[in-house]
Amino acid sequence: MVRWCVELFRHRDRHRNATVAIPAYRAVAAVVAIVGACAPAPDESRTDTLPFGHPDSVLHWTPEQQRAGFPNYDRLFGTRVVPASSVPRALPEAGTGLDDLGYEVDGATYSLDDFVRHNEAAGLIVVHRDSVLLERYSLGHDADQWWVSYSVAKSVVSLLFGAAIADGYIGSVDDPAADYLPLLRGSSYDGVTIRDLLQMASGVAWNEDYTDPTADVSLEIGMTNFERIRFIREKPRVAPPGTTFNYSTGETHLAGAVLRGAIGNNLASYLHQKVWEPFGMESDANWRLVEDSGPEHGGCCVSATLRDYARIGLFALHEGRLRDGSSSLPEGWMRESTASSPSNDGYGYLWWLSDDGSYSAYGIFGQLIHVDPNRQLVVATHGLWPVPVDQARSAHRAAFLNAVKQAVDAR
């Protein structure tokens, strides 16, 4: 297998800009997509000593388990490290902050302190024109700690699909997903394109109810990668591809496998190569693995510091442009990936869209990267919500974001 991997990467580099990969490359890349065979070993430093009876039940952790677990995924699960940049990108202080910021919900007025307390914001950062306007930590959290992103990682995967197209590993989002993940052939995913996966519009059934222990999103927890792909591919088709939006973490697990098949490498290494190193991320990150030494979760679980959450937002805001003037993304990729989908005008390529042209990466339990290109604004949070999804906390978050935008407009 080691010799195959060496040969895979040699062919990958030789055919970097080819529109059609050679068969030998595709064959071995398919192995990488399924089992992560060419991936380096995961981080072995975890101790499994945190207060957990069964750490896989992440949807049902107690508040004590959340506070211990969210910054310590590497101690509970297999993870793959994304090394810090050799030249970190500075985030200077803007000088004038937002400490007096207020906002309203249902006729009541709230302060910044109220927001941090009400929304269990373990970390909150506001960056305007590449400078920090506001940075707050609470609940024992600090600037040096990782925090798991949950579905914020989906938007990171969207960025990596753009990089793979720029590098020539993927021809187009209109390519059939099965071209890069042959296990999908003969399943409900036959005829589903990469675009369909990125827009959550495969037409394949999936239940994402986090409160239902019998839902698909709960059943897949703890499955091996092979088991998970088989489980997803056997779900029935309920609508033609591209016509119906259905939020599916299973779909993004397949998207991650498709991406690994295309690049012939693991996602953490590609994230380091295309984003973390060249854009200047300050700290190491890590990405949870489906199983030890296996592939990363395509729809979940990049852990990073709050400032590097903000830098992810800045990478998107700057459309992947790097300090040397080059770009990791194709021209126009962010406009394309944050355009409304035919099946949901509030969703793009794994980004949630707002009417003012801004877009967001949301994760359960209050994780957020919000990008407003018109205002050159990024807001990120490390959240500790006691439940995965909460309408009241979401309303406070939306009102807070609006207040930040008003304050930025008035500067």
Query: What does the pLDDT read at residue 191?
Result: 94
What architecture does CATH give domain 62-168+266-411? 3-Layer(aba) Sandwich (3.40)
Read off the pLDDT band of 33 (50, 70, 90).
low
Q: Flag the least confident range among 30-34, 52-56, 215-219.
A: 30-34
**Is pLDDT at 18 greater than 80 in this prediction?**
no
Task: Tell me the CA distances in angstroms from 176 to 31, 37, 255, 342, one per residue in order.
Answer: 18, 23, 11, 18
CA distance 402 to 103: 8
3-state secondary structure of 233: helix
- The 10 Å Cβ neighbour count of residue 169 is 25
354: left (phi over 0), alpha (psi -120 to 50) or beta: beta
CA distance 283 to 297: 21
Amino acid at 25: Y
Name the DSSP class of 202.
-
The answer to whether residues 176 and 192 touch, using CB atoms and an 8 Å cutoff, is yes
**Is pLDDT at 9 greater than 50 in this prediction?**
no
Nearest to 226 by CA among 31, 41, 8: 31
**Is pLDDT at 25 greater than 80 in this prediction?**
no
The answer to whether residues 159 and 315 touch, using CB atoms and an 8 Å cutoff, is yes
Nearest to 316 by CA among 211, 195, 162: 162
Query: What does the pLDDT read at residue 52?
Result: 65
| 0.85 surpassed by pTM | yes
Residue 168 burial by Cβ neighbours in a 10 Å radius (0-12, 13-18, 19+): middle
Query: What does the pLDDT read at residue 96?
Result: 72
Read off the pLDDT band of 384 (50, 70, 90).
very high
Across the chain, what does the average pLDDT equal? Answer: 89
φ/ψ of residue 106, rounded to 5? 50, 40
Read off the pLDDT band of 60 (50, 70, 90).
confident
**Is pLDDT at 16 greater than 70 in this prediction?**
no
Query: What is the average pLDDT across 30-57?
Result: 52
Query: What does the pLDDT read at residue 51?
Result: 62
**Is pLDDT at 40 greater than 50 in this prediction?**
no
| Tokens (6 digits) for 140 | 């024992």
**Cα angle value 12/15/21 (rounded, 5°):** 85
**Is pLDDT at 6 greater than 60 in this prediction?**
no
Dump pLDDT digits (tens) for 267-323.
999 999 999 999 999 999 999 999 988 999 999 999 999 999 999 999 999 999 999
CA distance 382 to 120: 9
109-112 contacts at long range (C-beta below 8 A, 24 or more positions apart): 110/396, 110/399, 112/136
Task: Tell me the CA distances in angstroms from 68 to 24, 72, 145, 148, one per residue in order.
Answer: 45, 7, 11, 11
